[in-house]
Structure 1
Amino acid sequence: MQLIEMGMTVKIIDQSSERCTHMSELLPKALVINGDGTDSELLREEGLDQTDGFVAITGMDEANILMALSVAKQCKNCKVVAKINRQPLVDLVSTEGMIGSVVSTGSVTAELILQYVRAMQNASGSQVKTLHRLIGGTVEALEFGIRPDSPLIGVPLRDLDLRPGILLAGIVRQNGKIVIPSGADAINAGDDVIVVTTSTLRDIRDILQ
């Protein structure tokens, strides 16, 4: 929407005719094409060689990588972005420099929270390393450092009896890896845990009922 408002020509390619119809109604000024974004011939027909930017955002990491690699080879001056959700693939593609930009939705969420924090010390059990108040002060995003004696260590998150209004938004491992946690994940000593809450917390143990 913002690109269109800036006067740019936007083309959207999708294999689903239903989604194409929906996007045509939602973005009437965009050119929506019912086709396969991995089809090199189709991309050439749609003027790939004159394209300033290409974004691969299907629901499949592999398809996004293949499309981005193909476009990067065909269009040297084109800015190529691929959405990749699985961290091992993000690490591989980023390390090898195969694609111009890689977007991982999970990491973006956690990193944005980390960007909106400021230092606050606490001496009990575990440590509030950073704090930021969001949405007029009604919501807090906190980063807790987990000490070796924390009772939360090793417990699957699904087994934690969390208070209402608590969201475990991310776990930052000691190696810097950001994990968007599932119920099977557990907290380790030395981790930093990102908590978003509508309650006042002084210690990581305060997330429990």
Structure 2
Amino acid sequence: MKILTIAPLALLCLLAVALSVHGYAYDFFYFVQQWPGSYCDTSSGCCYPTYGKPPSDFDIHGLWPNYNNGSYPSNCDPNNPFDLSKIQDLVSSLQPNWASLACPSSDSTSFWQHEWEKHGTCSETVLDEHSYFQDALNLKSMTKLLSCLKSANISPNGASYTLTSIKNAISTCIGHVPWIECNKDASGRYQLYQVYICVDHSGTTLIDCPIFPTGACGSSIIFPTF
């Protein structure tokens, strides 16, 4: 009886295809931070978490696995649900840095659950739940967006700034070009909402973005107070 063997290279190719089919393979992360003043300054408003108003600083939205072609995996493993006990030691850091502003008010746990189950499980071959949240906290400390902007005399004071000056301030600070997402305030004016920064496959190192998202943003945008 002849036993079929698969060459190591072919086996690796098959594994890559299998991972891609099941949504566990990805190329890089978008690390996304939002400005809470812009989240709240819309016609729908916001609700502070039950533990109090977050600091006047950029807030983590998520760490999102993406493909180089612009698509992304999601909800990759229903058998690995969010487990708060696995990140209990991080809660005191997550609450001020990764706060939910959605209504009704909450303790932000449902926000973290959503981010892990939709995005985090797609990186679980590299990051377990604890590593996923810890890496996001580390990336926020590494990027220091508000300090980057203030060093270029761009402050959350309700004034308008050019989109180019905001990008340049962040790029000069972190060494990589960010992508800026705007939303509109209650009067329909563009405002600085989210900043996308690209991170390598490990979730630890900033990189140049292989591809940027799409979306409209005015050439002059408001940086609202919070």
TM tier relative to shorter chain: under 0.3
Q: Which has the higher contact order (CA 8 A, sep 6+)?
A: 2
Structure 1 or 2, whichever has the larger Rg, is 1
**More strand by percentage:** 1
